[in-house]
Amino acid sequence: MEVRYVTDRHDTLCAKYRQDYRDNPDYLYCGVADMDLAPPEPVLEAMKRRLDHGVFGYTELPDGYEKLVSDWMREQYHCEVKQEWVLFSPRINMALNMAVDTFTEPGDSIIVNTPAYPALTGAVEKWGRNLKESPLLLKNGRFTIDFDGLERLADQKTRAYILCNPHNPTGRVWTDEELSGVTAFCKRHNLLLLSDDIHGDFVWPGHVYKPLLTMYHNPEQEKVIVFNSLTKTLNIPGLIFSSIILPNPEMRRAMEETIDRWGLHNPNVFAADILKPAYRECGEWVDRMRAQVYENIKTAQEFINRELPWLDAYVPDGTYLMWIGYGRTGLSEEDMRRLLEEKGHLIPLMGTHFKEAGRGWFRLNMGTSGEQVNKILERLALCWT
């Protein structure tokens, strides 16, 4: 199964193309986590069948949806998930907001590691909860969780911890030791643990992604929720589907009531059709796509280290995102943004998009063709000529 790249996304209302430049072909958009490639054939075929049928009424989830997710978790990550633990949410972003709505109260505090994908901190702040940032520490080129700092953050009002694994934007895949540190910390302070694992299928050689549930003896007795989806994996985030894995029966009932209250009763018509092929028929394509994305990342890291040694570029543990440091240039974020945009015609996401802890960094998306990656790198080099 070929991986078909589509790097020109003008005139498609592409959200990662900035509105003010949308019609200008000279800019390269390397920000938003959405790859420039078409999904595998079995997914497209299922969508075409629905299109040809020509009716787009309300749909139900396919029979066995929960089993598809449960089998995937076992086969891919050796993680046992009972089928009844699986709930459907259109988006992870919605699911996170629903969890905050259901399990915390206004005025409660919630911990998030920063820099953070903005929807994670948004799910705290937009609901009138108090965001407690736990900035990651950079040690020898690796971001780590500040466990001492976490202890200082937890107080009587702290109710939850939102983890991102693999971590967007730094690309860290948390180790067993780090994950057990997080679960122990949450247990000690009786915190609900929410884990956003949407990037879990992008893990590079030498690293292993482990869903948090594998850290527990009996997840049904714990306050833990894992959110995941194949939308990043197959590059179909516009189809809008995700899973909530919630082992605790009491909490699951509460979450089901929230899903009902929010009126999220039917999946997107195309999402309903593609779930089976997506989970069962795309493995070979995923392997091929991942190998190509990994090559892009290595090419970029080698190029930057060789040609632009004043930047800090690492091969991430996971994700198709590169988190690039420019602290040693002494440039402010505004100056760096202008340099990239005006000289390089490059539009990445600048670090403070992920909160203040991201200052001095920008994020580049490597989920595109090798040719496009070369163009991005040439443009990056152009910034310093």
* Binding region for ligand PLP (CB under 6 A): 33, 91-93, 117, 119, 164, 168, 196, 198, 229, 231, 237, 242
- Smallest separation, CB 102 to ligand PLP (Å): 17
- Smallest separation, CB 229 to ligand PLP (Å): 5
Q: Which of 278, 308 has the CB closer to ligand PLP?
A: 278
Query: How many C-beta neighbours within 10 Å does residue 313 have?
Result: 21
- Smallest separation, CB 169 to ligand PLP (Å): 8
- List of residues 6+ apart from 345 with CB closer than 8 A: 26, 27, 28, 379
Q: Which of 118, 370 has the CB closer to ligand PLP?
A: 118
Q: Which of 168, 170 has the CB closer to ligand PLP?
A: 168
- Smallest separation, CB 358 to ligand PLP (Å): 14
Q: Which of 171, 360 has the CB closer to ligand PLP?
A: 171
| Cβ 243 vs Cβ 79: under 8 Å | no
Q: Which of 328, 319, 309, 304 is nearest to 115 (CA)?
A: 319
Q: Which regions of 205-246 does DSSP assign to beta strands (E)?
A: 224-228, 242-245
| Cβ 322 vs Cβ 297: under 8 Å | yes
- Smallest separation, CB 181 to ligand PLP (Å): 20
Q: From CA 105, how far away is CA 157, in angstroms rounded?
A: 10
- Smallest separation, CB 343 to ligand PLP (Å): 27
Q: Which of 200, 344 has the CB closer to ligand PLP?
A: 200
Crossing angle between the packed helical segments 269-280 and 65-77, to the nearest 10 degrees: 40
- Smallest separation, CB 119 to ligand PLP (Å): 6
Q: Which of 33, 308 has the CB closer to ligand PLP?
A: 33
Buried b (16+ CB within 10 A) or exposed e, 28-38: bbbbbbbbbbb
Crossing angle between the packed helical segments 249-261 and 92-103, to the nearest 10 degrees: 110
| Cβ 276 vs Cβ 68: under 8 Å | yes
Q: Which of 92, 193 has the CB closer to ligand PLP?
A: 92
| Cβ 97 vs Cβ 67: under 8 Å | no
